[in-house]
Structure 1
Protein backbone atom coordinates (compact mmCIF):
# COMPACT_ATOMS: atom_id res chain seq x y z
CA UNK A 1 0.00 0.00 0.00
CA UNK A 2 1.67 3.29 -1.05
CA UNK A 3 1.70 6.03 1.51
CA UNK A 4 3.23 9.06 3.11
CA UNK A 5 4.61 9.49 6.61
CA UNK A 6 5.26 12.84 8.22
CA UNK A 7 5.98 14.16 11.70
CA UNK A 8 4.43 17.47 12.72
CA UNK A 9 5.87 19.47 15.62
CA UNK A 10 3.60 22.06 17.18
CA UNK A 11 3.79 24.42 20.14
CA UNK A 12 0.26 23.46 21.23
CA UNK A 13 -0.35 20.97 24.05
CA UNK A 14 -1.03 17.35 23.22
CA UNK A 15 -4.59 17.41 24.60
CA UNK A 16 -5.38 20.52 22.55
CA UNK A 17 -3.99 19.03 19.32
CA UNK A 18 -5.75 15.71 19.90
CA UNK A 19 -9.10 17.39 20.64
CA UNK A 20 -8.83 19.45 17.46
CA UNK A 21 -7.95 16.47 15.23
CA UNK A 22 -10.59 14.28 16.90
CA UNK A 23 -13.42 16.78 16.28
CA UNK A 24 -14.88 15.77 12.90
CA UNK A 25 -16.27 19.29 12.36
CA UNK A 26 -12.70 20.60 11.99
CA UNK A 27 -11.50 18.09 9.40
CA UNK A 28 -12.45 20.01 6.20
CA UNK A 29 -10.70 23.14 7.50
CA UNK A 30 -7.29 21.51 7.93
CA UNK A 31 -7.12 18.28 5.92
CA UNK A 32 -6.05 18.96 2.34
CA UNK A 33 -8.74 18.28 -0.26
CA UNK A 34 -11.47 17.15 2.16
CA UNK A 35 -14.74 18.74 1.08
CA UNK A 36 -17.06 16.62 3.22
CA UNK A 37 -16.62 14.70 6.46
CA UNK A 38 -20.00 13.69 7.85
CA UNK A 39 -20.72 11.27 10.71
CA UNK A 40 -23.00 8.33 9.88
CA UNK A 41 -23.08 6.91 13.41
CA UNK A 42 -24.66 8.43 16.51
CA UNK A 43 -21.30 8.69 18.25
CA UNK A 44 -18.91 11.04 16.50
CA UNK A 45 -15.70 10.25 18.36
CA UNK A 46 -13.90 7.15 19.49
CA UNK A 47 -13.70 3.56 18.40
CA UNK A 48 -16.32 2.65 15.80
CA UNK A 49 -17.31 6.21 14.87
CA UNK A 50 -17.98 6.18 11.12
CA UNK A 51 -17.92 9.00 8.56
CA UNK A 52 -18.69 9.62 4.91
CA UNK A 53 -15.85 11.59 3.37
CA UNK A 54 -15.14 13.21 0.04
CA UNK A 55 -11.67 14.34 -0.98
CA UNK A 56 -10.97 16.35 -4.12
CA UNK A 57 -7.57 15.62 -5.63
CA UNK A 58 -6.99 17.34 -8.93
CA UNK A 59 -10.06 16.82 -11.12
CA UNK A 60 -11.12 13.71 -9.16
CA UNK A 61 -13.54 13.42 -6.22
CA UNK A 62 -12.69 10.36 -4.12
CA UNK A 63 -15.32 9.14 -1.68
CA UNK A 64 -14.86 6.79 1.25
CA UNK A 65 -16.69 5.52 4.26
CA UNK A 66 -14.18 5.66 7.10
CA UNK A 67 -14.37 3.97 10.49
CA UNK A 68 -12.26 4.71 13.56
CA UNK A 69 -10.41 1.43 14.10
CA UNK A 70 -8.02 2.59 16.79
CA UNK A 71 -8.58 5.39 19.29
CA UNK A 72 -6.86 6.23 22.56
CA UNK A 73 -7.57 9.67 24.01
CA UNK A 74 -4.60 12.03 23.58
CA UNK A 75 -2.57 9.22 21.95
CA UNK A 76 -3.97 8.08 18.59
CA UNK A 77 -6.76 8.17 16.03
CA UNK A 78 -6.71 5.69 13.13
CA UNK A 79 -9.34 5.69 10.39
CA UNK A 80 -9.72 2.84 7.90
CA UNK A 81 -11.98 2.83 4.86
CA UNK A 82 -14.77 0.27 4.85
CA UNK A 83 -16.16 1.34 1.47
CA UNK A 84 -15.03 3.46 -1.47
CA UNK A 85 -11.47 4.69 -1.96
CA UNK A 86 -9.18 2.37 0.02
CA UNK A 87 -7.33 4.47 2.58
CA UNK A 88 -5.93 4.19 6.09
CA UNK A 89 -4.82 7.27 7.96
CA UNK A 90 -3.33 7.43 11.42
CA UNK A 91 -2.48 10.24 13.79
CA UNK A 92 -0.26 9.46 16.82
CA UNK A 93 0.41 12.10 19.46
CA UNK A 94 3.40 12.36 21.83
CA UNK A 95 4.96 14.95 24.08
CA UNK A 96 7.96 16.72 22.61
CA UNK A 97 10.56 18.98 24.20
CA UNK A 98 9.56 22.15 26.05
CA UNK A 99 5.80 21.50 25.94
CA UNK A 100 5.68 20.81 22.23
CA UNK A 101 3.56 18.06 20.72
CA UNK A 102 4.76 15.61 18.08
CA UNK A 103 2.16 14.22 15.70
CA UNK A 104 3.15 11.27 13.54
CA UNK A 105 0.91 11.16 10.47
CA UNK A 106 0.51 8.11 8.23
CA UNK A 107 -1.58 8.23 5.06
CA UNK A 108 -1.73 4.93 3.19
CA UNK A 109 -3.90 4.21 0.17
CA UNK A 110 -4.46 1.40 -2.28
CA UNK A 111 -5.31 1.92 -5.94
CA UNK A 112 -7.39 -0.45 -8.03
CA UNK A 113 -5.58 -2.58 -10.60
CA UNK A 114 -5.53 -2.20 -14.35
CA UNK A 115 -5.85 0.93 -16.43
CA UNK A 116 -8.21 2.61 -13.98
CA UNK A 117 -5.70 2.21 -11.15
CA UNK A 118 -2.82 3.54 -13.24
CA UNK A 119 -4.90 6.53 -14.35
CA UNK A 120 -5.92 7.28 -10.76
CA UNK A 121 -2.31 6.88 -9.62
CA UNK A 122 -1.18 9.41 -12.23
CA UNK A 123 -3.56 11.93 -10.65
CA UNK A 124 -2.99 11.14 -6.97
CA UNK A 125 0.68 10.32 -6.57
CA UNK A 126 2.11 13.70 -7.65
CA UNK A 127 0.00 15.57 -5.08
CA UNK A 128 0.15 13.26 -2.04
CA UNK A 129 3.36 14.75 -0.62
CA UNK A 130 2.10 18.28 -1.24
CA UNK A 131 -1.21 17.37 0.39
CA UNK A 132 0.50 16.11 3.54
CA UNK A 133 2.67 19.25 3.79
CA UNK A 134 -0.35 21.54 3.36
CA UNK A 135 -2.32 19.50 5.89
CA UNK A 136 0.58 19.77 8.35
CA UNK A 137 0.80 23.56 7.94
CA UNK A 138 -2.97 24.04 8.26
CA UNK A 139 -3.16 21.84 11.36
CA UNK A 140 -0.24 23.62 13.02
CA UNK A 141 -1.73 27.05 12.28
CA UNK A 142 -5.15 26.02 13.62
CA UNK A 143 -3.98 24.51 16.91
CA UNK A 144 -1.46 27.26 17.62
CA UNK A 145 -3.95 30.08 17.01
CA UNK A 146 -5.81 31.64 19.91
CA UNK A 147 -9.10 30.61 18.24
CA UNK A 148 -8.47 26.88 18.73
CA UNK A 149 -8.53 27.09 22.54
Structure 2
Protein backbone atom coordinates (compact mmCIF):
# COMPACT_ATOMS: atom_id res chain seq x y z
CA UNK A 1 0.00 0.00 0.00
CA UNK A 2 1.61 3.33 -1.02
CA UNK A 3 2.30 5.61 1.93
CA UNK A 4 3.12 9.30 2.18
CA UNK A 5 4.53 10.83 5.37
CA UNK A 6 5.10 14.40 6.48
CA UNK A 7 6.33 16.01 9.71
CA UNK A 8 6.04 19.68 10.69
CA UNK A 9 6.63 21.84 13.72
CA UNK A 10 3.93 24.39 14.53
CA UNK A 11 4.21 27.49 16.72
CA UNK A 12 1.14 26.73 18.81
CA UNK A 13 0.29 24.56 21.82
CA UNK A 14 -0.51 20.95 21.01
CA UNK A 15 -4.00 21.35 22.54
CA UNK A 16 -4.91 24.07 20.00
CA UNK A 17 -3.53 22.23 16.99
CA UNK A 18 -5.14 18.93 17.97
CA UNK A 19 -8.53 20.60 18.51
CA UNK A 20 -8.29 22.28 15.09
CA UNK A 21 -7.40 19.07 13.23
CA UNK A 22 -10.02 17.13 15.21
CA UNK A 23 -12.78 19.51 14.07
CA UNK A 24 -13.94 18.03 10.77
CA UNK A 25 -16.11 21.09 10.07
CA UNK A 26 -12.86 23.08 9.62
CA UNK A 27 -10.95 20.50 7.54
CA UNK A 28 -11.72 22.40 4.32
CA UNK A 29 -9.60 25.29 5.70
CA UNK A 30 -6.37 23.29 5.64
CA UNK A 31 -6.77 19.87 3.98
CA UNK A 32 -5.58 20.29 0.40
CA UNK A 33 -7.93 18.81 -2.20
CA UNK A 34 -10.88 18.32 0.15
CA UNK A 35 -14.03 19.12 -1.81
CA UNK A 36 -16.61 17.47 0.45
CA UNK A 37 -16.88 16.21 4.01
CA UNK A 38 -20.19 15.24 5.58
CA UNK A 39 -20.72 13.65 8.99
CA UNK A 40 -22.49 10.29 9.03
CA UNK A 41 -24.39 9.54 12.23
CA UNK A 42 -24.41 11.44 15.50
CA UNK A 43 -20.78 10.96 16.63
CA UNK A 44 -18.78 14.01 15.48
CA UNK A 45 -15.28 13.21 16.76
CA UNK A 46 -13.39 10.46 18.49
CA UNK A 47 -13.61 6.72 17.93
CA UNK A 48 -16.67 5.80 15.90
CA UNK A 49 -17.11 9.15 14.12
CA UNK A 50 -17.74 8.62 10.40
CA UNK A 51 -17.58 10.99 7.45
CA UNK A 52 -18.26 10.78 3.73
CA UNK A 53 -15.72 12.78 1.83
CA UNK A 54 -14.15 13.54 -1.50
CA UNK A 55 -10.54 14.57 -2.00
CA UNK A 56 -9.35 15.68 -5.42
CA UNK A 57 -5.68 14.99 -6.09
CA UNK A 58 -5.61 14.76 -9.84
CA UNK A 59 -8.67 12.50 -9.63
CA UNK A 60 -11.63 12.60 -7.24
CA UNK A 61 -11.27 10.02 -4.48
CA UNK A 62 -14.46 9.21 -2.57
CA UNK A 63 -14.44 7.39 0.75
CA UNK A 64 -16.35 6.90 3.93
CA UNK A 65 -13.86 7.13 6.77
CA UNK A 66 -14.19 6.19 10.42
CA UNK A 67 -12.11 7.27 13.38
CA UNK A 68 -10.60 4.06 14.74
CA UNK A 69 -8.18 5.53 17.29
CA UNK A 70 -8.31 8.82 19.19
CA UNK A 71 -6.19 10.02 22.10
CA UNK A 72 -6.65 13.61 23.28
CA UNK A 73 -3.79 15.85 22.09
CA UNK A 74 -1.86 12.83 20.80
CA UNK A 75 -3.46 10.73 18.05
CA UNK A 76 -6.21 10.59 15.42
CA UNK A 77 -6.48 7.58 13.09
CA UNK A 78 -9.04 7.53 10.28
CA UNK A 79 -9.64 4.44 8.14
CA UNK A 80 -11.85 3.95 5.14
CA UNK A 81 -14.87 1.69 5.51
CA UNK A 82 -16.12 2.25 1.96
CA UNK A 83 -14.71 3.67 -1.25
CA UNK A 84 -11.00 4.12 -1.93
CA UNK A 85 -9.05 2.23 0.72
CA UNK A 86 -7.04 4.67 2.83
CA UNK A 87 -5.71 5.27 6.31
CA UNK A 88 -4.76 8.61 7.83
CA UNK A 89 -2.66 8.64 10.99
CA UNK A 90 -2.13 12.03 12.67
CA UNK A 91 0.28 12.13 15.61
CA UNK A 92 0.77 15.17 17.84
CA UNK A 93 3.56 15.86 20.35
CA UNK A 94 4.29 18.92 22.47
CA UNK A 95 7.65 20.66 21.96
CA UNK A 96 7.33 22.89 24.99
CA UNK A 97 4.32 24.98 25.99
CA UNK A 98 3.80 26.93 22.76
CA UNK A 99 5.11 24.62 20.06
CA UNK A 100 4.24 21.15 18.79
CA UNK A 101 5.06 18.55 16.20
CA UNK A 102 2.51 17.00 13.86
CA UNK A 103 3.22 13.83 11.89
CA UNK A 104 0.93 12.68 9.12
CA UNK A 105 1.06 9.24 7.54
CA UNK A 106 -1.37 8.65 4.67
CA UNK A 107 -1.71 5.21 3.05
CA UNK A 108 -4.00 4.36 0.16
CA UNK A 109 -4.78 1.60 -2.30
CA UNK A 110 -6.85 1.40 -5.44
CA UNK A 111 -8.93 -1.64 -6.40
CA UNK A 112 -8.21 -3.61 -9.54
CA UNK A 113 -5.07 -5.60 -8.81
CA UNK A 114 -2.22 -4.70 -11.18
CA UNK A 115 -4.20 -1.85 -12.79
CA UNK A 116 -4.95 -0.38 -9.33
CA UNK A 117 -1.27 -0.59 -8.38
CA UNK A 118 -0.34 1.19 -11.63
CA UNK A 119 -2.85 3.96 -10.87
CA UNK A 120 -1.46 4.27 -7.34
CA UNK A 121 2.07 4.77 -8.71
CA UNK A 122 0.80 7.62 -10.88
CA UNK A 123 -1.28 9.21 -8.11
CA UNK A 124 1.32 8.85 -5.31
CA UNK A 125 3.32 11.99 -6.26
CA UNK A 126 0.08 13.98 -6.37
CA UNK A 127 -0.92 12.70 -2.94
CA UNK A 128 2.59 13.45 -1.66
CA UNK A 129 2.37 17.03 -2.89
CA UNK A 130 -1.08 17.44 -1.36
CA UNK A 131 0.15 16.14 2.00
CA UNK A 132 3.12 18.56 1.92
CA UNK A 133 0.83 21.49 1.13
CA UNK A 134 -1.62 20.35 3.82
CA UNK A 135 1.20 20.35 6.38
CA UNK A 136 2.29 23.81 5.22
CA UNK A 137 -1.32 25.01 5.53
CA UNK A 138 -1.40 23.89 9.17
CA UNK A 139 1.85 25.71 9.90
CA UNK A 140 0.59 28.83 8.14
CA UNK A 141 -2.80 28.73 9.83
CA UNK A 142 -1.24 29.03 13.27
CA UNK A 143 1.43 31.51 12.18
CA UNK A 144 -1.35 33.89 11.02
CA UNK A 145 -3.31 33.38 14.25
CA UNK A 146 -0.45 34.70 16.40
Under a length normalisation based on structure 2, what TM-score does the superposition of the two structures give?
0.92
Write the distance in 2 (CA, Å) between the matches of 1:115 and 1:4: 20
How many residues end up aligned between the 2 structures?
Answer: 146
Q: Measured at CA, do residues 90 and 26 of structure 1 come closer, stay the same or move farther in structure 2, by a change above 3 Å? A: same
1:30 correspondence with 2:30: yes
Query: Which residue is 1:21 aligned to?
Result: 21
Structure 1 unmatched runs, 5+:
none
Q: CA deviation at 1:140?
A: 1.2
Q: Tell which deviates more after alignment, 23-32 or 136-145.
A: 136-145
Structure 2 unmatched runs, 5+:
none
Within-5 A mapping of 1:36-115? 36-58=36-58, 60-97=59-96, 99-114=98-113
Whether the 8 Å contact between 1:3 and 1:107 is mirrored in structure 2 is yes
Query: Which residue is 1:142 aligned to?
Result: 141
Moved segments of 4+, more than 4 Å:
none
Cα distance per residue 1:75-128 (max 9 Å; x no partner): 111100000000000111101156310011110111223464145325412212
Q: CA deviation at 1:145?
A: 2.5
CA RMSD of aligned residues (A): 1.7
Q: CA deviation at 1:139?
A: 1.2
Q: Measured at CA, do residues 104 and 122 of structure 1 come closer, stay the same or move farther in structure 2, by a change above 3 Å? A: closer
Write the distance in 2 (CA, Å) between the matches of 1:21 and 1:120: 29
Under a length normalisation based on structure 1, what TM-score does the superposition of the two structures give?
0.90
